[in-house]
Copies of this chain bind each other. A is one copy, B any other.
Amino acid sequence: MNGFDYQQIDDVIHSRLRLAIMSALITAEQMEFITLRNLIKATDGNLSANLKKLEETGYISVKKEFINRKPVSSYSLTQQGKDAFAVYIENLERLIKK
């Protein structure tokens, strides 16, 4: 069995809530805040904080618009986010399959 530095696992993605966000967005072109919240079953505050972290890291982008005069935020993965997710999955599988 070879060594595996656990720090190879991307900590930004690995948090359970952020992993749930990334997993949801990888299959969807884009997703509104409320859809994401209902899907993942997170609180508004917790979801917001983790979306912000992903946005700051450059993994997701947000589009804000008004629909029927209500503000709607939609999220999608950036190319950097898609690449990081692929690397994350690869490392996770290497770690678990050992």
Copies in the complex: 2
> Are A95 and B1 touching (Cβ within 8 A)?
no
Interface of A is mostly: helix
> Are A16 and B27 touching (Cβ within 8 A)?
no
- For window 28-80 of chain A, which residues contact chain B by CB distance below 8 Å? 28, 38-42
Selected from B1, B3, B11, B98, the residue in CB contact (under 8 A) with A16 is B11
Chain A residues within CB distance 8 Å of chain B: 1, 3-7, 9, 11, 14, 16-17, 19-20, 23-24, 27-28, 38-42, 89, 92, 95-96, 98
Selected from B4, B14, B28, the residue in CB contact (under 8 A) with A14 is B14
Selected from B5, B7, B23, the residue in CB contact (under 8 A) with A98 is B23
